[in-house]
């Protein structure tokens, strides 16, 4: 169900992701569905735990659509988590209250060999049903809104799988990549295959664009970045494009710094998402003109609202005018964000700044 073959490339977000300089730019926000919305908190209570919410299609579809209903964003991103791929591979996963994700640490060849690549589609079937339900609801009630599927990129997902939890430095995972690159490479190849299949299934279910989140890309020095961030991401993009050449792919190499240009050139993504620390004008000079940019408002300026929010947003809009661009944040919405500040931002972006 490629956008280019269904006539839905007219959707503003898909036009921008496909290389058109749309103005005012289309917008959506990372973590736009989540804890800052009272309607989300009500659904979260019904689900019980976080994994149950991600794997109950009716509830996950409702959460995905909530910010569209409230704000009229141009993109709805599937409500899920980057660690659902390790979960689908059979790695133990739970989300501890106040701690974040906790996984059974993967530290040796036996653990890597135990990952069940052939079970990913079966285990993740409820997530693909969420995509189907969401796409149908958008077609009926918000036909100009594009549905974005996503996955974590192999480096970031592997870092959690090896470490067993979130970390400030992912020391164990980075150490494995240096000390046993053969074993780490085997894990990365498994994740390339699993992530490809996971994204292809989302596209088959109705996703019109997909995004790769490499949240911890900036942990790595240039040589490691090229090996564990750029090369696996490029492999996934090639695999997806081989089957669905017109589906746009967004890449988010968070904290890549000046390597954002090389990432854009070598991975084959259609659009690169900028993190909060990236100067949009620098990114525009490093990223090829035919590759779009997405970002990169500081989520804390959205918490502040008012003049601070308007000043930051206008600077980004001024820097991006004239090139393919999607307005977004440089990281996910903070849970303390007042919903009315998001409404303020939507009005500003819709006006073109």
Which amino acids are annotated catalytic?
31, 35, 44, 81, 160
Work out the angle at residue 63's Cα, subtended by the Cα atoms of residues 146 and 294, and round it to the nearest 5 degrees.
40
Distance CA 278, CA 78 (A): 25
Q: Of how many residues is the chain composed?
A: 353
Work out the angle at residue 171's Cα, subtended by the Cα atoms of residues 170 and 176, and round it to the nearest 5 degrees.
105
Which residue intervals of the chain are DSSP H helices? Answer: 3-6, 12-17, 38-47, 50-54, 57-71, 84-88, 109-113, 120-123, 125-141, 154-163, 171-179, 181-205, 222-225, 231-243, 260-267, 280-286, 299-304, 306-320, 339-350
For the chain, give the longest Cα–Cα distance: 56
Distance CA 238, CA 251 (A): 13
Q: Find the helix or strand (DSSP H, E) in which 251 lies.
A: strand 249-253
Q: Find the helix or strand (DSSP H, E) in which 292 lies.
A: strand 292-297
Task: Find out whether 317 and 353 touch, Cβ atoms under 8 Å.
Answer: yes
Question: Virtual CA dihedral for 202, 204, 205, 207, nearest 10 degrees?
Answer: 60
Pairing of the two strands 100-103 and 93-96: antiparallel
**Closest-CA residue to 147 (of 11, 50, 275):** 11
Task: Find out whether 237 and 266 touch, Cβ atoms under 8 Å.
Answer: no
Q: How far is CA 270 from CA 260, 276, 324, in A?
A: 13, 20, 10
């Amino acid at each position: 169900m490629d956008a280019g073959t269904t006539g839905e490339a007219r959707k503003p977000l898909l036009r921008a992701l496909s290389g058109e300089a749309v103005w005012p730019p289309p917008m959506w926000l990372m973590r736009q569905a989540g804890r800052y919305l009272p309607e989300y908190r009500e659904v979260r209570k019904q689900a019980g735990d976080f994994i149950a919410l991600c794997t109950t299609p009716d509830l996950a579809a409702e959460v995905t659509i909530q910010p569209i209903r409230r704000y009229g964003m141009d993109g709805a991103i599937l409500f899920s988590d980057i660690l659902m791929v390790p979960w689908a591979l059979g790695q133990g996963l739970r989300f501890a209250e106040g701690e974040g994700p906790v996984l059974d640490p993967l530290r040796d060849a036996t653990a890597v060999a135990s990952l069940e690549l052939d079970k990913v589609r079966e285990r993740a079937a409820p997530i693909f049903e969420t995509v189907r339900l969401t796409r149908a609801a958008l077609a009926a009630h918000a036909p100009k809104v594009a549905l974005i599927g996503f996955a974590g990129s192999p480096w970031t997902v592997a870092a959690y799988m090896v470490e067993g939890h979130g970390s400030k430095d992912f020391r164990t995972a980075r150490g494995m990549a240096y000390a046993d690159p053969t074993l780490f490479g085997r894990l990365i190849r498994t994740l390339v295959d699993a992530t490809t299949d996971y994204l292809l299934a989302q596209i088959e279910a109705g996703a019109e664009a997909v995004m790769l989140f490499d949240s911890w890309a900036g942990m790595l020095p240039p040589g490691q970045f090229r090996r564990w961030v750029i090369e696996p991401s490029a492999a996934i993009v090639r695999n997806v494009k081989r089957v669905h050449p017109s589906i746009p792919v967004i890449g988010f190499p968070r904290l890549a710094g000046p390597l954002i240009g090389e990432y854009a050139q070598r991975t084959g993504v259609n659009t690169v998402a900028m993190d909060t620390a990236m100067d949009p004008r620098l990114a525009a000079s490093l990223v090829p003109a035919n590759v779009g940019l997405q970002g990169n408002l500081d989520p804390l300026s959205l918490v502040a609202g008012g003049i601070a929010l308007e000043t930051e947003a206008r600077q980004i809009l001024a820097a991006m005018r004239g090139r393919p661009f999607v307005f977004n944040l440089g990281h996910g919405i903070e849970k303390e964000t007042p919903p009315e500040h998001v409404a303020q931002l939507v009005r500003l972006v819709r006006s073109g700044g």
